[in-house]
Structure 1
Amino acid sequence: MIRPTIRQLEYIVTVADIGRIGAAAAKLNVSQPSLSAQLAEVEADLGVALFHRDRRGATPTNEGREIMRRARLILRDMADLRAAASGVSAFQGRLRLGVLPSISPYLLPNVVKRLHSDYQDLRLVVREESTRDLDEGLRSGRLDMIISTPEDHASGMATHLFKEHLWAALAQDDPLARSNKPIELSKLANRTFLTLGPQHRLSHIVAGLAGQVGGYLSDEYEGTSLDAIRAMAAAGVGVAILPEIYTKTEAQRGTDVRLRRIKVDRAFRNIALVEPHRSAASQKGTVLAQLLSDEAAKLLKQ
C-alpha cells in the first residue's frame, strides 16, 4: 500500500484546517485516539513532524506546511479524477475562491448566481483579500483558486480573464472635470494620486503613473476600498485612480465625481484566474475562467 494514503491526507489537512485534533476527529467521525495514531503513522512514514502540539491545539511545522500544500493538491486532483471517471461534473464539493476586493463586488454577483443555478452541488466560499494575502493563500493551499493580477503569483498557473484600463475620478469643481473625454496623463502632473494601500498591486501601478508625471501618492490617506478613495476625490483631496470595471458598475451611478479614462499605455491592469501550478488547467478552472471572462466582457462594454 502506498503511504500516506488518501484518507490519511484527508486527516492531516483537516487537522491543519481546524487546528485541534479533538474537533478534527469529530468532523471526520473517528475517535481522537484513532486520529492521533494515524497522524503518528504519517509522521513516521514521512520522517518529519507535521504538527506542533500543545494545549492550544495543533499547528503545522515548517515541514508540515509544505506537506499540507502538496496534500491539498493531491486531494483536489483525486476529486477531479473521480468526477471524470463517474461522468459527474467536477463542480461539486467546496471551492475556496480568493479575489481582490477591487473586483469581487462588481464581477462576481452574476457569476455566483450562474454557478449556484447550474452546479447545485457546489459550495463556493469567497474570500476578499489583498494581493499579498491571496498569494499566501494559494501557496499554502488555503485557497483553491484566486482572481488577481498574474504578475504577483509566479508560482501559480494563470488563465487570462480580461484587461481593464484605469480611470481618473475628479471632484466636480476640478478644472479637468469639464470634459468627459480621455485625459492625457500629463494633465495630472504634480497632482496627488489616491489609491489603495501598498499591499495591493493597484497601488504600485498608480505609483508608477504618478512618478511618470511628477505626481505623488497621498501620504495622508490610503484607501481601504474603491468607494473610499472615490469619496476622497469628490471632497477634493486628490485624483482617485479607479479600475474600469468599478467605473462601469459603481462610480458612474453617482454624480459626486467626474470620470475620465487615462490616455496612456501603462494605465491598465491584467486580471487572471490563478490556480496552483499543474500541467493543464483543471476542469473547474476552465469552466470558471470562461464564465468570468464572459461576465467581464459584458461589464466592460457598458
Structure 2
Amino acid sequence: MLPRLTQLRYLVTVAEEGQMTRAARKLHLAQPALSQAIAQLESELGVELLHRNPRGVTPTEAGEAFLAKARTALAATEDAALTAQSFARAASGELRFGFLGLPPFDKAPQLFARFNDAQPQAELSFHELGFPCGSTASWLAGVDMAMCFSPTPDPEVDVEPLWTEPRTVIASKRHPLARRAKLTLKDVLDETFLGCDPSVEETWAGFWRLDDHRGGRAARVTSDCALSASEMAALVASGRAITTLAASSAALVPKVLADVVAIPLIDADPAVLAVAWRCDHHNPLVEAFVMVAREHVSSDGGAPAADAADALSS
C-alpha cells in the first residue's frame, strides 16, 4: 500500500519539530492520534522511521531517506495544485496580485489605472504576503505576480524593475536618533537592528538591516521574530531597535504608530520597487501587466526604470 499524503505530512512535521507533542499541536491533532498514525505508516512500510526517546524523536537511517522523498512528493503535490489554480485563474480572467506591506495600488495608483484601462475584463485580486521565507519562487507560489521592494534574485523568478526609493530609518521617538533630521550610514551601522524570524530569507532581511553596506550581518540584532511589516513596525515602537523601510512605506508608519518616527537615510543605496513572477506561470495577464508597467514607466521618462534595473543587478 502506498503512503497517503496525510501520512507524509505528519511524518515531515514530526521530524521538523523533533517531538510528537509539538508536532501534534502544529497539526491540530491529539498527540495519541499522531503517534498512532506514524506507527501505522511504519507498519505499512515494514521499517522503523523514527527513533523514540524521552527527549523526542530523531529519524532513523531509513527515515532520513524516506523523509527526503516525502518532502519532494509533498512539494510536487503542492506545485501541481498551484499550477492547476493558475490555469483556473487564467481561464476566468483573474490576476492574483501579491503585495508586502502597503497595498500595491497605494504605491502605484496610475499604473493600476492604466492596467484596468488596457484590460477592462481582467479581475485583479490582491493577496497580502508575509516576509519572504525560503526562495523567492516559493514565496510567490500562491499568486500570479507580486509587487515588492528589492526581491532576492532567483533563477526561477522573472523581475521587472519599476523605480527606486531611498531607504529610510524608522525608530521609536525614545531612541537617541529620533531627533535627527537626517542620518548617514556612519550614524546607524553600529546600532541595534530589529531581528526577523529565522525562517525569513536572509539576504532580503539583511538588506533592510543595511548588511549590503556593512559587508555582513549587523553585530547587534534583537531576538525578535518579525514575520510581517506590521509586526516589524510594532516592535520598533518598543524602542529596542531600529530598521529601515522604503521611503513610501516609512512615511506612513508614524501615521499609524504615533511613537515611531521616520528619518531620511541620505547615503544608502536605494530600494528597488519591482514586480516579480515565477517563470513557470500560466497566466497571460502577467505579460499584459508587465507590458503596461513598461509603458507606464517609459512615459514617465524612463530614467527611474533604468536606475532601478542597475540597482537590482548590483
TM-score (norm 1): 0.54
What per-residue deviation string (whole Å, max 9, x for no partner) do you get for residues 243-285 of structure 1?
212023443676423322224444x32232123439x982232
Aligned partners of 2:133, 2:103: CA distance in 1, in Å? Answer: 15
Aligned partners of 2:274, 2:230: CA distance in 1, in Å? Answer: 23
Is structure 2 residue 230 aligned with structure 1 residue 232? no
Aligned partners of 1:64, 1:259: CA distance in 2, in Å? Answer: 40
Q: Which residue of 1 aligns with 2:186?
A: 186
The 5 Å alignment of 1:50-61 reads: none
Q: Which residue of 2 aligns with 1:217?
A: 221
Counterpart code for 1:164: E
Aligned partners of 2:253, 2:293: CA distance in 1, in Å? Answer: 24
Aligned partners of 1:192, 1:70: CA distance in 2, in Å? Answer: 45
What per-residue deviation string (whole Å, max 9, x for no partner) do you get for residues 8-39 of structure 1?
xxxxxxxxxxxxxxxxxxxxxxxxxxxxxxxx
The 5 Å alignment of 1:98-117 reads: 98-101=98-101, 104=104, 106-107=106-107
Return the match for 2:271 from 269, 272, 291: 269
- Offset at residue 95 of structure 1 (A): 0.7
2:159/2:277 contact within 8 Å kept: yes
SS at match of 2:98: strand
- Offset at residue 185 of structure 1 (A): 2.0
SS at match of 1:245: helix
1:190/1:213 contact within 8 Å kept: no
Aligned partners of 1:229, 1:154: CA distance in 2, in Å? Answer: 29
Aligned partners of 1:239, 1:289: CA distance in 2, in Å? Answer: 35
Change (3 A) 1:275 1:252: same
Counterpart code for 1:225: S
Q: Which residue of 2 aligns with 1:31?
A: none
Aligned partners of 2:172, 2:75: CA distance in 1, in Å? Answer: 52
SS at match of 1:194: coil
The 5 Å alignment of 1:245-284 reads: 245-251=248-254, 255-266=258-269, 268-277=270-279, 282-284=287-289
Q: Which residue of 2 aligns with 1:177?
A: 178
Q: Which residue of 1 aligns with 2:164?
A: 163
- Offset at residue 128 of structure 1 (A): 1.9
Aligned sequence identity (%): 17
TM-score (norm 2): 0.53
Change (3 A) 1:197 1:62: closer
Q: Which residue of 1 aligns with 2:13?
A: none
Aligned partners of 1:293, 1:245: CA distance in 2, in Å? Answer: 21
Q: Which residue of 2 aligns with 1:144?
A: 144
Query: How many residues matched?
Result: 218
- Offset at residue 239 of structure 1 (A): 1.4
The 5 Å alignment of 1:62-101 reads: 62=76, 65=79, 69=83, 93-101=93-101
SS at match of 2:235: helix
What per-residue deviation string (whole Å, max 9, x for no partner) do you get for residues 126-180 of structure 1?
2222324762264x5x432222334333222221112222211223233322221
Q: Which consecutive residues of structure 1, in runs of 5 or more, have no partner in the other structure?
A: 1-58, 80-91, 298-302
Counterpart code for 2:220: Y
- Offset at residue 94 of structure 1 (A): 0.7
Aligned partners of 2:120, 2:86: CA distance in 1, in Å? Answer: 23
Counterpart code for 1:171: S
Aligned partners of 2:220, 2:126: CA distance in 1, in Å? Answer: 34
Change (3 A) 1:146 1:169: closer
The 5 Å alignment of 1:199-210 reads: 199=200, 202-207=204-209, 208=211
- Offset at residue 218 of structure 1 (A): 1.0
SS at match of 2:240: coil
Aligned partners of 2:167, 2:218: CA distance in 1, in Å? Answer: 18
Q: Which residue of 1 aligns with 2:155?
A: 154
Change (3 A) 1:265 1:123: same
What per-residue deviation string (whole Å, max 9, x for no partner) do you get for residues 84-107 of structure 1?
xxxxxxxx8111122223664842
Change (3 A) 1:291 1:218: farther
